[in-house]
Amino acid sequence: MSGDTSAREALPADDAAVSEAERKARKAAFEANKLSKRLHRQVGQAIADFNMIEDGDKVMVCMSGGKDSYAMLDILLNLKARAPIKFDIVAVNLDQKQPGFPEEVLPNYLRSRDVAFHIEEQDTYSIVTNIIPAGKTMCSLCSRLRRGILYRVAKELGATKIALGHHRDDMVVTLLMNMFFGSRMKGMPPKLVSDNGEHVVIRPLAYVAETDLEKWAVHREFPIIPCSLCGSQENLQRVQIKQMIRDWDKQYPGRVENMFSAMGNITLSHMMDTKLFPFVDVRATGRPDPQGDKAFDEDEDDCGAPAGGAAVQPVRLIRD
Ligand code: SF4
């Protein structure tokens, strides 16, 4: 009798637990679906805006084993399956022989995705650690070596595009780094010819926020390879700026997106680069120009409406 009672008492609690778990699962599935749509839309948009991938291209997708490159490959494979054009994907990882690098993780994943891949084994770790004194940052030499190797591999594989997993936040951080420490307004382009002139480098994640990539990596359970195996510290200034924009994003939602959009919405006449705008030739035209100088009025956009009356460029990174 007492057993029956306890069983009856347990039922409502179990029901409640099941429905709570179900509610959570449904919410998680809904959020994942929304995230998936946003990521695929943003990557598709970036590819279209910059004509990143064309019919017949062979895209070499550089895989580090981090969340960004996994997400890039994942999304490109999905887009390839439904794209109106035909292009090939080959995933490439450079095994730099860092101590503890789990060399089977990426090949296993790539086989599971049925994607063509190439693992290039080059012991750049030994080269770098032999040249750079202990305690000094190794990243500059390491990335120079890596770049040269990847260019060669791209050539050998017949790749027409090299895809890198940099995202929106990387691009904003690079702009700020160049301003703060290099005294120049130079960002990280979504598409550009490589410095040796032989390849076209593309960044399909250009419109994607890093926080979305973090969530996607968790959702898709990518087998992430830690990025600290080389023992080098990430550039401290870069770390600080990354933190700064994360804080801004929380405190002032939209600020990072606006900074990012600003990189594609430049008014050269309102900067001061004499190489890009012929200031020496400026003469009065006699015609009103909403883009002209407002003399004593501060030409700023502090109320959300553009100075000069032009339409606000919609921020491309719409948060669903
Ligand atoms: S963090 Fe390590 S692997 Fe990455 S660039 Fe620096 S030295 Fe190379």
Kindly report which listed range (22-31, 75-84, 162-171, 185-194) carries the lowest average pLDDT score.
22-31
104: CA distance to ligand 1 center in Å? 20
142 is in an annotated binding site: yes
Nearest residue by C-alpha to atom 2 in ligand 1: 230
Tokens of 72: 């890039």
Tell whether 263 is covered by a domain: no
Tell whether 103 is covered by a domain: yes
pLDDT, tens digit, 9 for 90 and up, residues 241-271: 999 999 998 999 999 999 999 999 999 999 9
- Ligand 1: which atom is nearest the Cα of residue 231? 2
| Nearest partner of 263 among 207, 303, 311, 302, judged by Cα | 207
* Amino acid identity at 204: P
pLDDT, tens digit, 9 for 90 and up, residues 204-218: 999 999 999 999 999
Tell whether 141 is covered by a domain: yes
Compute the distance between CA of residue 14 and CA of residue 281 in angstroms, rounded to an integer. 79
Q: Check if the beta carbon of residue 161 is closer than 8 Å to that of residue 53.
A: yes
Out of 126, 132, 230, 238, mutate this one to test ligand 1's pocket (max ligand atoms within 8 Å of CB): namely 230
142: CA distance to ligand 1 center in Å? 6
Helix (H) or strand (E) holding 119: strand 117-121
- Look up the CATH number of the domain holding residue 47: 3.40.50.620
316: pLDDT strictly greater than 60: no
Within 6 Å (CB) of ligand 1, which residues are found? 138-139, 142-143, 230, 232
42: pLDDT strictly greater than 50: yes
Nearest residue by C-alpha to atom 7 in ligand 1: 139
| Nearest partner of 165 among 149, 150, 185, judged by Cα | 150
139 is in an annotated binding site: yes
Number of structural domains the chain divides into? 1
Tell whether 207 is covered by a domain: yes
pLDDT, tens digit, 9 for 90 and up, residues 46-70: 999 999 999 999 999 999 999 999 9
Out of 149, 232, 234, 235, mutate this one to test ligand 1's pocket (max ligand atoms within 8 Å of CB): namely 232
Phi, psi of 255, rounded to the nearest 5 degrees: -65, -45
82: pLDDT strictly greater than 70: yes
Q: Average pLDDT in the 207-233 region?
A: 91
Q: Helix, strand, or coil here: 218?
A: helix
Tell whether 89 is covered by a domain: yes
Domain enclosing residue 117, as ranges: 28-233
Tell whether 301 is covered by a domain: no
